[in-house]
Amino acid sequence: MDKAKFKGVFSALLTPYTTDDKINGKSVKQIIDFNLAKGINGFYVGGSTGEGMLLTVEERKQLFKYAAESNAGRGTMIAHVGTINTNHAIDMAKYAQDMGYDAISAVAPFYYGFSYEAIKGYYNDIANSVDIPMIMYNFPNANGFQFNKERAEDMFKNKKFIGIKHTTSDLFALQQFKTMECDPLVYNGFDEILVAGLSMGADGGIGSTYNFMPQKYVDMYRLFNEGDIKQAQKIQYEANEIITMLIKYGVFATEKGILEEMGIEMGGCRKPFTELSAEGKAYCKQLVKKL
Ligand code: MN9
């Protein structure tokens, strides 16, 4: 298993729509080209940022197809197939494998408060349905599933599991995963703490704000690895000033507003997300002049 291609900075790809609310393949290509040109290592497709839970299974597959075709073997591709229905997730995992994805990933099933045994069964069912590896998506705020080193050691007995996308601020837990015998790949999931995550052992980051400011994350990762922590921290602070505003106006809608302002047709976010406010739009306009 070649882990090298899974290290680095990955954009959690936003899902752009056409004016008639279809997945916008042309814009997918524009985002991917822009990100790769800046040095992004690959893409995490159809996750939280990609509004995966707001798309139909068919739309998610279509998004996988557009992204794989646009990427054309350049970056490392991870398909997020997580959902509450195991059969749907398996269907998407198989499709992603056919489309040439390097790995699949899945959030734990939500809503019913499933037992640990049920969640483990879901992960094994999905992982065993394909030959490509699985990256566990740890996002406790979204599903309440408490994932820790003990559970990871149990689940990672299945050798299909190679990594964890760690979307929590618990950096002690992140470091504990790195002490596991199988040495999983661990990704920092909150962009606002990438440098902190790297310093606790993360192998890279996956994030939504990478879509429109990829250079900042490419630079943070490079500077960190060169040992220039002060400079990496400076860029993190710059990014965080922007992220603070995104949180104020709505993260994904504002990210889309920024890319739209940069000339890529994005559309808004699927309902029940609300539209970007006039104030949010004004912020996007003003920010793009400075980026
Ligand atoms: O995929 C994103 N996670 C979520 C990563 O949105 C749940 C992050 O990139 C955040 O959007 C970002 C802003 O809080 O860190």
Per cent of the chain over pLDDT 70 is: 100
191 Cα to the center of ligand 1, angstroms: 6
- Kindly state if the Cβ of 259 falls inside 6 Å of ligand 1: no
Which tens digit of pLDDT belongs to each residue from 70-123? 999 999 999 999 999 999 999 999 999 999 999 999 999 999 999 999 999 999
Which tens digit of pLDDT belongs to each residue from 241-260? 999 999 999 999 999 999 99
Contacts for 34-39: CB closer than 8 Å, 24+ residues apart: 34/214, 34/264, 35/11, 35/75, 35/210, 35/211, 35/214, 36/71, 36/74, 36/75, 38/214, 38/215, 38/218, 39/9, 39/214, 39/215, 39/218
Per cent of the chain over pLDDT 90 is: 98
Where in the chain does DSSP place strands (E)?
8-12, 42-45, 76-80, 103-107, 134-138, 161-166, 185-188, 204-207
Q: Which amino acid is residue 47, in one-letter code?
A: G
Distances (CA, A) of 42 to 8, 77, 141, 243: 8, 6, 25, 21
Which tens digit of pLDDT belongs to each residue from 6-56? 999 999 999 999 999 999 999 999 999 999 999 999 999 999 999 999 999
Q: Which residues pair with 204 in a beta bridge?
A: 8, 187
> In the prediction, which pLDDT does 256 show?
98
Question: What whole-number distance in Å separates Cα of residue 86 and Cα of residue 126?
Answer: 7
- What are the backbone angles phi and psi of residue 160, rounded to the nearest 5°? -65, -25
State pTM to two decimals. 0.98
Question: What whole-number distance in Å separates Cα of residue 211 and Cα of residue 96?
Answer: 21
> Which residues make Cβ contacts (< 8 Å) with residue 52, sequence separation at least 6?
46, 60, 80, 82, 83
137 is catalytic: yes
- Kindly state if the Cβ of 219 falls inside 6 Å of ligand 1: no
190 Cα to the center of ligand 1, angstroms: 5
Residue 1 has pLDDT above 80, yes or no: no
The length of the chain is 291
- Kindly state if the Cβ of 255 falls inside 6 Å of ligand 1: no
Query: How does the average pLDDT of the chain come out, rounded?
Result: 97
